[in-house]
Amino acid sequence: MDLIPINEHLEDNKEFFSNPLCQESLYMTIAFFKKVGYKKPWISYYAMKIMHSSVVAHSREHQKMELWKLLMAPLNNPDKKV
């Protein structure tokens, strides 16, 4: 699993902002940074589960899709453990 840092300013988070599933949490995180500050490594991160395969090379788009699935799994099925 990879951790992708959320940057301090909204305009520096285009990858997350372009996905409607991340927008609400991204806005909340940026607002939180404005209140408490932004000091690495004590910032927020999105977790991305990367599937490795020796046969199929996964594209960056596939990795992004895995990230969105991982982020939304608790909302789609709150009883399921990720």
Give the model's pLDDT for residue 51: 57
Question: Does residue 36 sit within a domain?
Answer: yes
Give the model's pLDDT for residue 23: 87
Give the model's pLDDT for residue 54: 40
Identify whether 41 is preceded by a cis peptide bond (ω within 30 of 0): yes
pTM, full prediction: 0.57
Question: Does residue 54 sit within a domain?
Answer: yes
| Segments in the chain below pLDDT 50 | 53-57, 82
Question: Does residue 82 sit within a domain?
Answer: no
- CA dist 8 and 30 (Å) reads 6
Amino acid at 37: G
Question: Does residue 64 sit within a domain?
Answer: yes
Question: Does residue 65 sit within a domain?
Answer: yes
How confident is the prediction for the chain on average, in pLDDT? 77
Q: How many domains does the chain have?
A: 1
Give the model's pLDDT for residue 61: 63
Question: Does residue 68 sit within a domain?
Answer: yes
Question: Does residue 81 sit within a domain?
Answer: no
Domain hosting 65: range is 2-76
